[in-house]
Amino acid sequence: MNSSKLLDWGLWACVAYFCCMAAAHFFGIKVPVLFVYYDTPFFAYQDKIISFAVVAYIALFYSAARVREVVPAALFTLWITAAGLAHVNLSDALGGLEGEKSMTAYWAQTALIGGIAMCLTALYLKAHRGTSDVPKP
């Protein structure tokens, strides 16, 4: 399978992932991978707001899967998300949590999102190597 086809699959997989994440937040299903900080105190209204915000990711990745010029914006959001999660993980914001287990899970999920960003970026660059349709920054 060529890089362009793998990129398509990856973008559509992100659409599905973010749909599941939005549903998990909306219904309060605190499951690791769909809920990065799954074992932290929360208010139900916060998760509803997050579920609505995740719809922007769904729309962005849906658009990126259909229109290649949108892919850089989708990749940028993943990289910023991974960096933002890493910042939270390193901050004092989680200082009151007990145990190393939680932090390990948070870092694993942050790495997962960073890994997805890395794979999709590599596929995008490989699929567009030598072509002139890579948008200029």
**Per-residue pLDDT, 13:** 98
- Blockwise average pLDDT, block size 10, the chain, 137 residues: 93 98 93 87 88 97 97 98 94 70 85 97 88 53
Token pair 């960073």 is found at 114
Q: How far apart are the C-alpha atoms of 59 and 87, rounded to whole Å? A: 25
Q: How far apart are the C-alpha atoms of 11 and 64, rounded to whole Å? A: 7
pTM as predicted: 0.86
Name the amino acid, one letter, at 24: A
Reduced to 3 states, what is the DSSP secondary structure of residue 55? helix
